[in-house]
Structure 1
Amino acid sequence: RLMDVVRQTLEGEHIFPDAPPTVEIVMAKSTEFTKTELKVLRHLLRGLSYTRIAAEMGCEMSTVKFHVSNMLQKTGLENKLQLALAVSDVKLIADLAEE
């Protein structure tokens, strides 16, 4: 099997996908979330308040609320707790490294 991978790589084939798999989160696909929205989600999953998220990201609290609102609209969910639970259930961002 290892030699197959080496041969495929030498022939220019992509062994690993160019992007992470797409995950469905209620009515949205994970690819519909922006990088900034994913950062906000990581902080939400850590249990941080809007104020703390804003401080960590170096932005205004209204910006954090804007991103959460966008994600709620995309998913059809009603609040940030539902959003955090839905994202946790599909394990979308559990171990993503900060860029």
Structure 2
Amino acid sequence: MAEPIRVLLVDDQQLVRTGFRMILSVADDIEVAGEATNGSQAIEQVAALRPDVVLMDVQMPVMDGIEATRRLAEQTRVVILTTFDQDDYLFDALAAGAAGFLLKNSGPEMLLEAVRSVAQGHALLSPEVTTRVIAQMNRHRAAPGRPDAIAEVDLTERETEVLVAMARGLSNAEIARELFVGEATVKTHVSNLLAKLGVRDRVQAVAWAYRHHLVD
């Protein structure tokens, strides 16, 4: 049998940690490796426990979740869990390296899906957040006046088209249909542009596109 996904819970409210622990305990493929009450403790616990996924609150004493995520993103996968549905938290979390962003009222099934998806190397945003990100990205199409950002990372024209389509929220299959290419070809372009951008996943790529105004 495969090893269970080890999760670290980081939240300054014990009731919240207890609730998440109860939800995760019903899954045979997930185990709670430990808990922390602030970002500083989270850093210590990650070093000691080596969890696969960290469920991280935003507002905590000593060190907040955004700063902790920034320090941990290279060591483990972080999912931000917050009650504060604010754009600054969302984009700060993505820029810090979070692999997921969920609202605490997303529900048990979404929480389990986030842990499994992120542990497999994917990224996941709650539906409310995804809709808002796409809405912001789609306010303007690709900006023809920003060739400098593209040239700096040596993106090809096709890779740029794929990146913009990703920022619009399209799946690989949808991108393939729009660009009249095979899905395997799209996957290759995605892998290449992730490597060129120096990012781990699609969420980070979309954040890069947003920061460099390929989409706005």
Contact 2:194–2:205 (Cα < 8 Å) also in 1: yes
Aligned AA (1:23): A
CA shift for structure 1 position 89: 1.1
The structure, 1 or 2, with the larger RCO (C-alpha pairs under 8 Å, 6+ apart) is: 1
Q: Which residue is 1:86 aligned to? A: 208
**What does residue range 18-33 of structure 1 map to in structure 2 within 5 Å?**
20-23=146-149, 29-30=152-153, 32-33=154-155
Structure 1 unpaired stretches of 5+: 1-18
Aligned AA (2:215): A
Higher helix share: 1
Contact 2:164–2:209 (Cα < 8 Å) also in 1: no
Q: In structure 1, what is the Cα distance between the partners aligned to 2:147 and 2:166?
A: 22
SS of residue paired to 2:181: coil
Runs of 4+ in 1 over 6 A off after TM superposition: none
CA shift for structure 1 position 23: 2.2
SS of residue paired to 1:77: coil
Aligned AA (1:39): E
Q: In structure 2, what is the Cα distance between the partners aligned to 1:76 and 1:66?
A: 15
Q: 1:61 to 1:29 in 2, by over 3 A?
A: same
Aligned AA (1:29): E
Q: CA deviation digits over 1:34-62, x for unaligned, max 9?
A: 00001111111110000000010111111
Q: CA deviation digits over 1:4-58, x for unaligned, max 9?
A: xxxxxxxxxxxxxxx855127xxx824x000000111111111000000001011
Structure exhibiting the larger radius of gyration computed from Cα positions: 2
Q: Which residue is 2:163 aligned to? A: 41
Q: In structure 1, what is the Cα distance between the partners aligned to 2:195 and 2:188?
A: 11
Q: Which residue is 1:16 aligned to? A: none
Contact 2:155–2:193 (Cα < 8 Å) also in 1: yes
Give the TM-score taking structure 1 as reference length.
0.64
Q: In structure 1, what is the Cα distance between the partners aligned to 2:174 and 2:168?
A: 11
**What does residue range 1-99 of structure 1 map to in structure 2 within 5 Å?**
20-23=146-149, 29-30=152-153, 32-91=154-213, 93-94=214-215
Q: Which residue is 2:34 aligned to? A: none
Aligned AA (2:172): Y
Residue correspondences, number: 72
Structure 2 unpaired stretches of 5+: 1-144
Aligned AA (1:69): S
Over the aligned positions, Cα root-mean-square deviation in angstroms equals 2.2
Identity of aligned residues (%): 35
